[in-house]
């Protein structure tokens, strides 16, 4: 992670072209103040910025990299789009999301892509392993959108790294499909569960705590989310009638993840980014996700019930994988 911070400092401070920094252990470091990056709207011709924004929205990029409104935790502060600063506690210490609005225009598209796919350095809470699934056409639009952002000048937060913490290695480049799957298909649903990061929260990890237990995929409990004094556990989304969504209709599922309203009327806690990320998901994409969930083997995995939340403003304390173990 020190490696990453060094890269960040070099880019923010000097506006230089990105390169992998040689230093491996700079220790905890403060980010340099944001340099006045050139304000550039320069999408590559043919790239679709509006579609890129859609992907950044349902991919929760905006959600994680934009502060929410103090007055309404289910809305983002549009004046600070992608300016970062959300803290994430974990085994690494505390690392804030990066000010992508300030750096994106300074990055070459290929560098930005590699960062999003997790190939440059470990990105802490950012689910780069899921973003590695982006098809080339979607990635082009996403990058075009990021490069169209106006740099937001905000003070750089201080990251605190745990003593002796060693980050995992960056991900190796994998096969990239040329075009994203389309239509209301199980294949597109599976793709979306990756690039809209449902899997990050809703799929349990394997024994190593990092990779997924694919034999129980989407059965909940991927990440523990600590709010106030309680842990929220992402529920089981497989078709099991007792512990999953087997007794929910398709519409009830879609309403829950697009509006944050559960079938029993209870509002989901806004760490489930229903309104900030998924509210504007197209009907076809929402249906494709449900088609995928329905096609999965139903897994019996009872996750501890989450109660009504009391402090809606308390949304971003700690994300600590792996989640507390389920009690089947
Ligand atoms: C769960 C939170 C989370 C989500 C979702 C997320 N990020 Fe990040 N991102 C982070 C964190 C934390 C960092 C900072 C890591 C660090 O300082 O090393 C980061 C860093 C980055 C960087 C690196 C900036 C630099 O200076 O190197 C880029 C680019 C980026 N994110 C883009 C995106 C995009 C695009 C998406 C959506 C496809 C996204 N992020 C989704 C948490 C997130
Ligand atoms: C940041 C973590 C996170 C992400 C990402 C996420 N969820 Fe959730 N989800 C949760 C949590 C936590 C809850 C439970 C909240 C509560 O009970 O108040 C939840 C609840 C739900 C529910 C309600 C189910 C029930 O039994 O109450 C559905 C449906 C759902 N999520 C679907 C999705 C889908 C589909 C996606 C991706 C498009 C997604 N979620 C992405 C964390 C997440």
* Nearest ligand by distance to the CA of 63: 1
Residue 194: DSSP 8-state:
H
Record the tokens describing residue 293, joined without a space.
């969930």
Q: In DSSP terms, which residues pair with 239 in a beta bridge? A: none
Examine the pLDDT at 224 and tell me if it is beyond 90. no
Report CA(294)–ligand 1 centroid distance (Å): 31
Examine the pLDDT at 62 and tell me if it is beyond 90. yes
Record the tokens describing residue 111, joined without a space.
């560098």
Note the pTM of the prediction, 2 decimals: 0.86
Q: Determine the pLDDT at residue 150.
A: 94
Q: Model confidence at 37, in pLDDT bands (50, 70, 90)?
A: very low
Residues 174-220 pLDDT 10s? 999 999 999 999 999 999 999 999 999 999 999 888 899 999 999 99
Examine the pLDDT at 317 and tell me if it is beyond 70. no
Pocket of ligand 1 (CB under 6 A): 4, 7-8, 11, 56, 59-61, 64-65, 88, 95, 97-98, 100, 103, 112, 115-116, 123-126, 131, 142, 146
Q: Model confidence at 27, in pLDDT bands (50, 70, 90)?
A: very low
Report CA(190)–ligand 2 centroid distance (Å): 16
Q: Where are the domains of the chain?
A: 2-20+47-155, 186-320
Record the tokens describing residue 131, joined without a space.
């973003």
Smallest Cα–Cα separation from 195: which of 239, 138, 268? Answer: 138
Q: Determine the pLDDT at residue 315.
A: 54
User: Which of 85, 123, 142, 225 gets mutated to test ligand 1 (max ligand atoms within 8 A of its CB)?
Assistant: 123
Q: Is 269 touching ligand 2 by the criterion CB < 6 Å?
A: yes
Residues 227-279 pLDDT 10s? 766 778 899 999 999 999 999 999 999 999 999 999 999 999 888 999 999 99
Examine the pLDDT at 40 and tell me if it is beyond 50. no
Let me know the angle formed at the C-alpha of 301 by 295 and 302, rounded to the nearest 5 degrees. 125
User: Which of 98, 129, 132 gets mutated to test ligand 1 (max ligand atoms within 8 A of its CB)?
Assistant: 98
Q: Model confidence at 29, in pLDDT bands (50, 70, 90)?
A: very low
Neighbours of 198 (CB within 10 A): 25
Examine the pLDDT at 303 and tell me if it is beyond 60. yes
154's CB contacts (< 8 A; 6+ apart) are: 34, 80, 83, 84, 85, 99
Residue 141 to residue 195: CA distance in whole angstroms: 13
Q: Is 220 touching ligand 2 by the criterion CB < 6 Å?
A: no
Report CA(287)–ligand 2 centroid distance (Å): 16
Q: Determine the pLDDT at residue 312.
A: 55
| Four-residue CA torsion sign, 241, 247, 250, 256 | negative
Q: Is 274 touching ligand 2 by the criterion CB < 6 Å?
A: no
User: Which of 219, 233, 252, 257 gets mutated to test ligand 2 (max ligand atoms within 8 A of its CB)?
Assistant: 257
Q: Model confidence at 135, in pLDDT bands (50, 70, 90)?
A: very high
Q: Whose CA is nearest to atom 24 of ligand 2?
A: 235
> β-strands 93-96, 224-227: how paired?
unpaired
Q: Whose CA is nearest to atom 11 of ligand 1?
A: 97
Examine the pLDDT at 318 and tell me if it is beyond 80. no
* Nearest ligand by distance to the CA of 29: 1
| Cα end-to-end distance, the chain, whole Å | 36
User: Which of 190, 219, 235 gets mutated to test ligand 2 (max ligand atoms within 8 A of its CB)?
Assistant: 235
């Amino acid at each position: 992670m020190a490696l990453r911070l060094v890269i960040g400092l070099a880019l923010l401070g000097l506006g230089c072209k990105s390169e992998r920094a040689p230093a491996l252990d700079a220790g905890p470091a403060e980010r340099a103040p944001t340099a006045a990056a050139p304000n550039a709207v320069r999408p590559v011709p043919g790239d679709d910025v509006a579609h890129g924004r859609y992907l950044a929205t349902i991919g929760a990029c905006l959600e994680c990299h934009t502060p929410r409104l103090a007055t309404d935790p289910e809305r983002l502060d549009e004046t600070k789009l992608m300016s970062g600063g959300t803290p994430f506690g974990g085994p690494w210490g505390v690392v804030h999301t990066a000010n992508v609005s300030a750096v994106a225009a300074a990055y070459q598209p290929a560098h930005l892509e590699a960062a999003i796919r997790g190939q440059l350095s470990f990105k802490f809470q950012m689910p780069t392993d899921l973003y590695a699934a982006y098809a080339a056409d979607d990635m082009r639009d996403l990058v075009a959108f990021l490069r169209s952002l106006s740099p937001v000048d905000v003070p750089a937060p201080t990251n605190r790294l745990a003593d002796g913490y060693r980050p995992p290695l960056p991900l190796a480049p994998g096969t990239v499909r040329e075009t994203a799957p389309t239509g209301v298909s199980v294949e597109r649903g599976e793709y979306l569960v990756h690039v809209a990061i449902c899997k990050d929260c809703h799929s349990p990890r394997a024994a190593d705590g990092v990779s997924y237990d694919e034999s129980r995929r989407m059965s909940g409990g991927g990440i523990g989310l600590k709010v106030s004094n309680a842990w929220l556990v992402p529920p089981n989304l497989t078709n099991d009638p007792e512990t999953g969504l087997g007794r929910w209709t398709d519409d009830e599922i879609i309403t829950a993840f697009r509006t944050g309203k559960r079938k029993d009327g209870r509002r989901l806690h806004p760490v489930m980014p229903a309104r900030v990320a998924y509210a504007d998901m197209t009907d076809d994409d929402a249906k494709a996700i449900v088609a995928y969930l329905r096609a999965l083997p139903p897994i019996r995995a009872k996750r501890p019930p989450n109660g009504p939340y009391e402090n809606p403003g308390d949304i971003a304390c700690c994300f600590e994988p792996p989640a507390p173990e389920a009690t089947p």
